[in-house]
Amino acid sequence: MIEGDTTFSPPNVRLPLKLSLFQLAFVALSACGTNYVLADSPAEVRTDFSSKVLPILTQHCFACHGPDAQQRQADLRLDQPAQLFQRRDDRPAIVQPGDAADSELYRRLVSSDPDVQMPPAEHGGPLSLEEITTIKRWIDTGAVWSGHWAFQPITQPQLPAAYPGWSDEPIDRLVAQHWAEHDLSPAAPADREMLLRRVSFALTGLPPTEKEIANFLADDQPDAYERVVDRLLASPRYGEQMARHWLDLARYADTHGFNIDSYRSMWRWRDWVIDAYNANMPFDQFTIEQLAGDLLPSASIDQITATGFNRNHPINDEMGAIPDEYLHFYAADRTNTTATVWLGLTLACAECHDHKYDPISQRDYYQFYAFFNNVDDLGLDGRRGNAAPLLISPTNEQRQRLTLLDEQIGAIDAALADTRDHATSALAAWETSAEQDAAAAQPPADSLARFSLDGASDLVRIQRENDEETLFLAGKLDQALLCDGRTLITPSEPIQLGDAFSIGLWIYPTTASRTILLAAPDFTLALDHGALVYETFERRLHTAELVVKNQWQQVTLVVDGKSVTIYRDGVPLPLSPSELVDSMEVAEERPDVSGLQIARAGASDGFRGLLDDVRIYARVLAPLEAKRLGGGDPIGEILAKPAAQRSKAEQVTLLDYYLRKSDVKYADQVEQHESLARQRRRLIESFPETMVMRERADRRPAHVLQRGRYDLPGERVTADVLTCLPPLPTDETPDRLALAKWLVDDRQPLTARVAVNRYWRLLFGLPLVATPEDFGLRSQPPTHPELLDYLAADFRGSGWDVKRLLKQIVMSATYRQTSAVSSARWQADPTNQWLARGPRMRLTAEQLRDAALASSGLLSEQLGGPSVRPYQPPGLWEAISYGRDFTAQRYAQDHDDRLYRRSLYTFWKRSSPPPNLSAFDAPNREFCTLTRSQTNTPQQALVLMNDPTFVEAARVLAAKVMQASEDVDRQIIASFVDVISREPTKEELPLLRQLYQTQLAHYQDHAAAAAELLSVGESPAADLPAIPQAAMTMVVSTIMNLDEAIHAN
């Protein structure tokens, strides 16, 4: 842009040009009033500069005479009024307002001397006659300079008169004012079916149901439509529809991207977005929490979760890559994405050099970047699950459940303490009695199985390689089994362990290398250089303390869901922090184990040494019990001490032991307590983890990186906003929170314009500014500048109320026009930029799939949660992925309800996104995408005709309509309504009936084929005759393939 960012009358204005834009804007506002209000005044001249002259200068001149200092020629900038209108050294100003012929700028354009002519041949040569004329006219009419339109303050436009006989709502007046110029007039209102389908898809991403259509058609109240809109905005489906759009901007995915592209868990952030839209969170708060929720005073879990927005970028973990290179990539991605989404600026262009067209220097870039390069992250991360910084982020429901459990546990705690307080004297009596027998020292007797390994036994099968003889030597208890690394012990009765069990065994290891102690389908316990290692598909835990070679030791593994304790000789060993991996992964390379096995698994090395007395319990052993299993006698030890010498803990242990033996009620309460405590632990274990923003304590310095290279740091810079926009308040610490607040500050004109432009596009297909990702000097000026400003001012003025904005737009007469117009009207404005007809919207990839699921009744309405893996052709991930040792490398398809969730919950692997969504232009999500392309390809036809998703939906919908009526016409009509949201016409119905008849005849001759067609998809077959159902399935599939099925007209 241009530094003096407001109307600038050249010759006599003496504004100090060092003033910032912000200051200038205020000078202008207070002195001259505002620009857009002047609807019928010199605005025309001004508009002329901004929309006509400035684009020419930008396109043809700025590359050499613009903001980029490196490329600048002759020390001349045409993006600054001072250089145009002031004398340069002893030469006159290059623009003489009112006199093109006397202006150097103009003379250069028309010169035929190649040394004088501008632009020079190597930069495209002379301008077109039309362009030259525009500049001449501009100079001749006074050369009034104004800033780039998007950088002007937002002002409420003066509303023009209403179009005669049409709506007088502001939006409609601002749209209609352009019609005369283009010889247009409004289209008729859309019929109710069309309108309902359009607005239902727009606000919920789903078609209206048959009942909703019937209700709306029958509702003759004047506010019938408004109540529909309110219903849609209040539906939880609204948040899903709006979030879908936001996920593209936020480059949300379920994998890390780059080389390995393994699993990450960010669905909590995705659900935060859904919830925020559903709760109608104001857009300023929506902005602040996503960019800087972690920096808010006493930030809540949700607010920190929201900052996942800027952790959604790809993260690399390629072995051998250089961390600094990727730290730069991440910070640059956050910078560019934030600038694109909120400012609509192509900041990325200034990463390597000054921006060529917009007034953004490379220094500006790295000042903005400095807000984002102090995240406490690693350059290479994400090998196993998420990449730091992380947050354990329980859902609301989980938090409520935790509070409830804590209350219940607290109550029982109190009751137990009370019982103990009253039992001290009874304990003393018991101690002196004979009851305190030696039985206490025995291991718990209720084992599921016990293998003494004292010799051959019916209880176990012991196999050695080549059927060698098994050897028993003197053991810990009687004999023990000698294991040579190839010895496998399998219980004769297969043992299936639940998710709560305990296993104890005596071992006398003779080697240090990694060997297997226990293996089951979902875990292994191994000995690895002394450490005991517990491994599941999800994680790996190992003890810090080591088992000793050539010595008897007792090992007990206690598993309680995700909580694992490993005892050595009855003493619990500290465990390494768990490494989390993708629990959905099917790890095919794990040994194939069907039930519990001892000492060996698959081809891996088995245990070497002596093994004795294996005990398996189908329950969790308490620490005291584990101690006894390990050969200890904890109660006996306490009893042996004089009462006065016992510690507080020992006293409680003893008392507890006594009461559990003697007081049935107490024992029940303890059991209840344990059960609740277990539930609590399980609950906490199930809390999802998510990636968030967190600042580093020692600040990572930001530098201007020469040529954008991470290894060429130049001048050091501190965080600041762009110099071409209003500054940060001076009393703010320049951090992300200050940046976020600045983005939604009233003085900053871009955010509101950029946001309303996107929301407008969501509803109309075409944005008001055709380049939603670029509001800079190379942008397309808005088709309706007054409307854009009206919406922006209104949006901001309403407290950034998104639902209000959307409601206002969909309530407009403009939105409610029909899109069914004559060919002549269509040709008059093929892209509908002047809005003299209703929007005809192509459904997005997600809407198409969701609509098929919804109309058939298959759609699951579950809101949020981990991503799901519906149908996908086999082999896609496997063909490109690394495989071993990483997650999300093999596609394990889900089943049941998880096949029918809304598409925004579909697992998004960046290197291989869902193919049926990609076919309909869904992006890879490797970078921020504002505009999806809208293509029309044969692959799309193949998806709709052949993807099991759509074939199954057709089959199920066919069954649904057949169950409702036996009349074929009624069946066709009902399915047409479910898919197209209206009844078929008199011309359409016979065509479909005829198709039904030909298919029916075909399947009557090919009954087996009918059965085959009805077996597509995993949902159960309906109890209906196969032949007509197959024929009706083909009819429904045909309806789903209609152009009208993939549009909301």
- Span of 19-27, 741-749, 797-805, 947-955 interacting with other proteins by CB under 8 A: 947-955
Least distance (Å) between residue 341 CB and other proteins: 12
Least distance (Å) between residue 930 CB and other proteins: 9
The correct pick among 880, 892, 897, 967 for binding other proteins (CB under 8 A) is 880
Least distance (Å) between residue 751 CB and other proteins: 18
**Residue 999 half-sphere exposure toward CB, CA atoms < 13 A:** 23
Least distance (Å) between residue 817 CB and other proteins: 13
Restricting to residues 951-970, name those near other proteins by CB under 8 A. 951
Least distance (Å) between residue 325 CB and other proteins: 8
The answer to whether 193 contacts other proteins (rule: CB under 8 A) is no
The correct pick among 936, 963, 965, 1004 for binding other proteins (CB under 8 A) is 936
The answer to whether 1002 contacts other proteins (rule: CB under 8 A) is yes
Least distance (Å) between residue 811 CB and other proteins: 23
The correct pick among 915, 983, 1018, 1024 for binding other proteins (CB under 8 A) is 915
- How far CA 428 is from CA of 422, 431, 481, in Å, comes to 12, 5, 45
Least distance (Å) between residue 911 CB and other proteins: 3
Q: Binding marks (x or -) toward other proteins, 355..374, rule CB under 8 A? A: -xxx----------------
Contact (CB, 8 A) for 179 and 185: yes
Dihedral sign (CA 131, 132, 136, 139): positive
The correct pick among 414, 586, 712, 941 for binding other proteins (CB under 8 A) is 941
- How far CA 1033 is from CA of 230, 620, 804, 900, 961, in Å, comes to 35, 53, 41, 19, 10
* 608 versus 925: smaller Cβ distance to other proteins: 925
Residue 560's φ and ψ, nearest 5 degrees, are -135, 85
Closest by CA position to 1048, among listed 232, 175, 369? 232
Least distance (Å) between residue 283 CB and other proteins: 23
- Span of 17-25, 74-82, 477-485, 911-919 interacting with other proteins by CB under 8 A: 911-919
- How far CA 415 is from CA of 122, 175, 314, 418, 664, in Å, comes to 90, 72, 52, 5, 14
Least distance (Å) between residue 885 CB and other proteins: 11
Q: Binding marks (x or -) toward other proteins, 326..355, rule CB under 8 A? A: ---x----------x-----x-xx------
Least distance (Å) between residue 962 CB and other proteins: 17
Residue 572: in which H helix or E strand, if any?
A: strand 571-572
Dihedral sign (CA 608, 614, 617, 621): negative
The answer to whether 1010 contacts other proteins (rule: CB under 8 A) is yes
Beta-carbon contacts of residue 550 (< 8 Å; ≥ 6 apart): 508, 509, 510
- Span of 138-146, 573-581, 649-657, 869-877 interacting with other proteins by CB under 8 A: 869-877
Compute the C-alpha angle 239/242/247, nearest 5°. 110
The correct pick among 129, 319, 429, 640 for binding other proteins (CB under 8 A) is 319
Closest by CA position to 984, among listed 914, 1045, 1046? 1045
Compute the C-alpha angle 97/102/103, nearest 5°. 60
Least distance (Å) between residue 348 CB and other proteins: 7
CA 979 to chain centre: 29
Beta-carbon contacts of residue 605 (< 8 Å; ≥ 6 apart): 485, 513, 514, 515, 516
* 403 versus 946: smaller Cβ distance to other proteins: 946
Least distance (Å) between residue 804 CB and other proteins: 30
Q: How far apart are CA 517 and CA 147, in angstroms?
A: 76
The correct pick among 840, 849, 960, 982 for binding other proteins (CB under 8 A) is 840
Q: How far apart are CA 124 and CA 684, in angstroms?
A: 66
The answer to whether 893 contacts other proteins (rule: CB under 8 A) is no
Q: Binding marks (x or -) toward other proteins, 770..799, rule CB under 8 A? A: xx-xx-xxxx--------------------
Restricting to residues 1018-1047, name those near other proteins by CB under 8 A. 1030, 1034, 1037-1038, 1041-1044
The answer to whether 236 contacts other proteins (rule: CB under 8 A) is no
- Span of 181-189, 254-262, 511-519, 527-535 interacting with other proteins by CB under 8 A: 254-262
Restricting to residues 969-988, name those near other proteins by CB under 8 A. 985, 987-988
The answer to whether 1015 contacts other proteins (rule: CB under 8 A) is yes
* 525 versus 922: smaller Cβ distance to other proteins: 922
The correct pick among 92, 799, 874, 1025 for binding other proteins (CB under 8 A) is 874
* 606 versus 839: smaller Cβ distance to other proteins: 839
Q: How far apart are CA 805 and CA 762, in angstroms?
A: 12
Given the structure tokens 């398809």, which residue do they identify?
893
How many residues belong to the chain?
Answer: 1049
Q: Is 236 exposed, middle or buried (0-12, 13-18, 19+ CB in 10 A)?
A: middle
Q: Is the link from the previous residue into 688 a cis peptide, with omega within 30 of 0?
A: no
* 603 versus 879: smaller Cβ distance to other proteins: 879
Determine the size of the site formed for other proteins (CB under 8 A).
107
Q: Is 135 exposed, middle or buried (0-12, 13-18, 19+ CB in 10 A)?
A: buried
Restricting to residues 681-740, name those near other proteins by CB under 8 A. 711
